[in-house]
Structure 1
Amino acid sequence: MSFHITYHADAKGEMNIIVVDWSGGAFDPYDQAVANTRVVGAVIAELVKVLHNLTNTEYSNIYLVGHSLGAHICGYAGERLPGLGRITGLDPAGPFFQYVDSAVRIDSTDADFVDIIHTDGSRYGISEAVGDVDFYPNGGVHQPACLSDHLDPSIACSHVRAIYYFIESINPSCHYKSFPCKTKDDFVSDKCNACGSGCQEMGYKAHRNTSGTFYLKTRWHYPYCSKNV
C-alpha cells in the first residue's frame, strides 16, 4: 500500500490531501478484499497517529472519505482514532455489511460526524441508515441514466455515482439541497419536499446541525447538481 500526499488550497483554506492506494488488496476475491479492509483501516489509523504526534495535528481536523469498501475502511480507521473529525462514506459496500453489528461496518460512532451517500442500495451498496446523516439521492436505490445496472452485473453505474456527486458538491456553486424523509415510499409519493425540522446539503457541505435521513433529486446527466435542483 502506498500513500500519495498533495497540497491543495480552496475557498475554505489550506489542506493536505493523502490518497491511499490499496489496489493490491482491493482486487482480490471479494471475500478476501473484505478481510483486507481491516488491515488497511489499521494502517491508516497508525499514519494519522504519526501525523498527530509529529505535527500536533488534531484528530478533530482529520476528514476521511471512502467509497464502497473504502467507506468501511474509514470506519475501521476512525474507531481507532479518538475524536476523529469527520467521515464521509460514499455508497458503502453492501455485501457482507448489510444489517450486521455496527462493529463490523462504518457507523456513526467512528467520527464526530459521519455522513453517508447511498446510491445503489439494491446491488453493491448498503441501504440501511448507518451515519449521523444518511442521504438517499433519487431514492438511493438506482440512479438516473443507470438502467444498465439491472442488465449487466459488471456495470456499477449507480454505485460509482456517489463519487461524482461528492466531487461536484465541493464546487461552491453546487448545493444538493436535501429534505428530511423517513422512507423511499414517502419520497416517491412526493411527501418529502419541505424542510420541516431542517434541510441538509448532501456531500462536502453536509453539516452537523441536523441529523437523520434525507432525500433529494439530482439531474440525470452531468452536471448532476444545478441551481434549480
Structure 2
Amino acid sequence: MLKFIIFVAAVAVCYGQTVDVRYTLHNKNGIVSMPGSGAIPNQFEEDAQSTIFLIHGYPGNTVTNFFQLVRNAILEHSNQNVNVIEVDWTRAAGDSYTQASNNMQSVANNLGVFMQQLYTEITNPTRTTTTTKTSTSTTETSTTETSTTETGTQPVKSGLTFHLVGFDLGAHVAGIVGRKLNRGVVRVARITGLNPGRLRSQLSMQRLTANSASYVEVIHTDTLGVLANGIGDRMGDVDFYANGGNNQPGCYSHSCCHDRAFELFAASMINPLLSGRGCNSMSQMNLNLCRGSSLRLGGIELSKDGNGIYRINTSRRFPFY
C-alpha cells in the first residue's frame, strides 16, 4: 500500500497559547507535501468512503504505536478507500498530563479550523490544488487553480464524511471538535473513543459524550482503580467493555490495559469475530452475564444499529481470535 503523506504545521492561538498541531495524511496515492495555506493537493481522495482522523493522547511511546498499528490496519485490511489523517499534538501536550489536559480545547480548536478549511476548499467551485514532486535532487511544486461551474445543489463529496478516532485524551479532543462543528455546516459522522482518559473535575465539561457526533462508540479497557488511565462511565451511543473494562488478558500493568483499546480497534479490521453481547445494566456487564444481541466492535462503518452497553471477552494476543 502506497502512502500519501501530507505534512502541515498548523499553528493556532487560543487563550494566549501557541499550539503546534501537525497533520499527516495517508492514502493510496503516493507522497506529496502540502503547504499550510489550506490548498488541497490533487492526490486527496475526494471520493473516498470517508476521511478518518487519528488523535493520540498524552505523549509517550504509545503515540507511534497507536498511529502505526491503527493506520496500517485500516489501509491494509479494511477493504475501503479512505483518507487517514494523523493528528500529532505531542508538542502542544507539553511535559505533563495536566498540561496536556489543559491544552485539549486549543488542540480541538486547531483541528476544527483545519477540518473546516478542508471542507471549504473541496466544496469551493474555484479551488487551488497543489502537487509536490520530490526526488533525491530537486523538489518541484506546482499550483493550479481549477474552476468549475455547478448548477443546483451538488452532493457533498464522500471524502468529507469525517470519522474521528481518539485514544486517551484524544477521545475528548474528538468530542470537543464534534460538538463544535456539529453546530455548523461541517458535521462529524462518527467518533470512536479508545479508553478515554481521566480528567479532573474542572474539565468534566470537555468529556466525550454521545452528542459529539451522529454515532459515538467507546471501547473501555482500563477503568478500575486509582491508577487506571480511563473512565468507566458510559459516554457513547455504544460502550464496549472489553473483558469487563479492566485486567486485559496478557497484561500486567495499567498501561498495557490502556493500550489494548487501540489494539482491539486495529484488530477489528482483521478479526470479524470481535463482537460483544448487549447488557441490561452495568451490574450484568460486571458479572459477565450479558445475553443480549451481538454487535461487532470497532470497524470503520459510519453507523451501527446497536445502542447501550456491550461486553466483549477476548483472548490474549493480537488480533484476539
Query: What's the counterpart of residue 284 of structure 2?
Result: 186
In terms of mean alpha carbon deviation, does 11-20 or 109-118 score higher? 11-20
Post-superposition Cα deviations, 1:46-72, rounded to whole Å, max 9, x if no partner, equal 111011111135697100101000000
Change in CA separation of 1:5 and 1:209 when aligned onto 2, cut-off 3 Å: same
**Whole-angstrom CA distance in 2 between matches of 1:29 and 1:11:** 35
Judge conservation of contact 1:93–1:126 (CA < 8 Å) in 2: yes
Whether 1:209 and 2:311 are equivalent positions in the alignment is no
Q: Which runs of 5+ in 2 are unaligned?
A: 1-20, 29-74, 124-156
Whether 1:72 and 2:172 are equivalent positions in the alignment is yes
**Whole-angstrom CA distance in 2 between matches of 1:164 and 1:109:** 25
Query: What's the counterpart of residue 99 of structure 2?
Result: 32
Q: Which runs of 5+ in 1 are unaligned?
A: 150-155
**Whole-angstrom CA distance in 2 between matches of 1:51 and 1:219:** 40
Query: What's the counterpart of residue 152 of structure 1?
Result: none
Whether 1:139 and 2:206 are equivalent positions in the alignment is no
- SS at structure 1 position matched to 2:316: coil
Q: 58, 78, 86: which one pairs with 1:19?
A: 86
- What amino acid is the match of 1:17? V
- SS at structure 2 position matched to 1:66: strand
Q: 230, 238, 256: which one pairs with 1:157?
A: 256
- SS at structure 1 position matched to 2:81: strand
The alpha-carbon deviation at position 143 of structure 1 amounts to 1.0
- SS at structure 2 position matched to 1:215: strand
Query: What's the counterpart of residue 124 of structure 1?
Result: 229
Bigger relative contact order (CA 8 A; separation at least 6)? 2
**Whole-angstrom CA distance in 2 between matches of 1:73 and 1:104:** 8
For the pair shown, which has the larger CA radius of gyration, 1 or 2?
2
Query: What's the counterpart of residue 91 of structure 1?
Result: 195
Post-superposition Cα deviations, 1:119-148, rounded to whole Å, max 9, x if no partner, equal 001210010001111000100022112233
Judge conservation of contact 1:94–1:127 (CA < 8 Å) in 2: no
**Whole-angstrom CA distance in 2 between matches of 1:187 and 1:176:** 17
Query: What's the counterpart of residue 221 of structure 1?
Result: 317
**Whole-angstrom CA distance in 2 between matches of 1:39 and 1:59:** 25
Whether 1:148 and 2:263 are equivalent positions in the alignment is no
**Whole-angstrom CA distance in 2 between matches of 1:13 and 1:191:** 35
Q: TM-score, normalised by structure 1?
A: 0.84
Q: 263, 267, 277: which one pairs with 1:168?
A: 267
CA RMSD of superposed structures (Å): 2.3
Change in CA separation of 1:30 and 1:77 when aligned onto 2, cut-off 3 Å: same
More strand by percentage: 2
Judge conservation of contact 1:59–1:84 (CA < 8 Å) in 2: no
**Whole-angstrom CA distance in 2 between matches of 1:11 and 1:31:** 36
Post-superposition Cα deviations, 1:154-173, rounded to whole Å, max 9, x if no partner, equal xx1101110100011112x4
Q: TM-score, normalised by structure 2?
A: 0.61
Judge conservation of contact 1:91–1:118 (CA < 8 Å) in 2: yes
Q: 181, 186, 191: which one pairs with 1:81?
A: 181
Change in CA separation of 1:32 and 1:192 when aligned onto 2, cut-off 3 Å: same
Query: In percent, how many aligned pairs have the same letter?
Result: 30
**Whole-angstrom CA distance in 1 between matches of 2:246 and 2:191:** 22
